[in-house]
Amino acid sequence: MGFSDIPNLQWILFGVFLFIYLTILMCNSIIILITRINPALQTPMYFFLSNFSFLEICYVTVTIPRMLMDLCTQKGNISLLACATQMCFVLMLGGTECLLLTVMAYDRYVAICHPLRYCLVMNHRVCTKLVAGSWISGVPVGIRHTYQIFSLPFCGSNRINHFFCDVPPILKLTCGDTFVNEISVYVATVIFLLVPFLLIVVSYGKIICNIMKLSSARGRAKAFSTCSSHLIVVVLFYGTATIAYLQPKPHQAVKGQEN
């Protein structure tokens, strides 16, 4: 369905999202390029940042170009295979982003709380393994959940009230028993959302405690500045995910009022 409820704004939305998409591509590409060619930025922090920028490019490319095409053609048709492929990549990249944000939080924790051991702990081999683990771990989860969902029988309407193939709207179209799928989604949510978030909170809790012990106000400001951008991204990512997936659904709210 996309943005079919506001047809008069289709071309305005197309222009806005196209600008956003091109900005994301340009800015993240510049970050990757600078971190590759500047010898002074060959550090673990910028290594993780360049991987995160590449991840963001992949993430938005999975959804926005398709949405732009739907806004342009105003058809909104997508094949079952394309829908499954889009969902699979969204799940894989979403899981990777959660893990990569956790790795970046750990990097900041070691840099601030154990500065003398930083180069030893966060050597190139360890950083490569952490990044590779973040990318690889999301693959089986995305493939498994996509296969489980699209193995269910579909009946009735073939319309989803969304602008991309996400898990909740697709599950509404199935006429089989979705209990196992919903449990799998909750388990994956705990593993890839809740656990990484708790690890990030613990890391920043220790970072803040360590910063507060610094006697120099300039030192505290410098330490906070190295974490501020990452912390903003964490808040935005988990904040929007909470609003999108963890808020009570309308039928749940009605049921609660009836009880």
pLDDT of residue 123: 92
Residue 1 in any domain: the answer is: no
pLDDT of residue 252: 42
Provide the b/e sequence for 203-233 (b: ≥16 CB within 10 Å). Answer: bbeebeeebeeeeeeeeeeebeeebeebeee
pLDDT of residue 255: 40
Residue 258 in any domain: the answer is: no
Residue 167 in any domain: the answer is: yes
Side-chain half-sphere exposure of 199, counting CA atoms within 13 A: 18
Residue 159 in any domain: the answer is: yes
Residue 256 in any domain: the answer is: no
Tokens 């971190």 correspond to: 35
Domain range enclosing 205: 7-248
Planar angle of CA 121, 127, 57, nearest 5 degrees: 150
User: Distances in Å between the alpha carbon of 13 and those of 16, 58, 67?
Assistant: 5, 21, 10
Dihedral sign for Cα 63, 66, 72, 77, please. negative
Residue 66 in any domain: the answer is: yes
How far is Cα 133 from Cα 127, in angstroms, rounded to an integer?
10
pLDDT of residue 87: 93
pLDDT of residue 223: 76
Residue 193 in any domain: the answer is: yes
pLDDT of residue 33: 96
Reported pTM: 0.86
pLDDT of residue 246: 65
Query: What is the mean pLDDT of each successive set of 10 residues along the chain, which is 259 residues long?
Result: 76 92 96 93 92 95 92 85 93 92 93 90 94 92 87 82 86 79 76 86 90 78 81 88 66 42
CATH no. for residue 223? 1.20.1070.10
Number of domains making up the chain:
1
pLDDT of residue 256: 42
pLDDT of residue 247: 61
Residue 144 in any domain: the answer is: yes
pLDDT of residue 55: 95
Tokens 């990249």 correspond to: 93
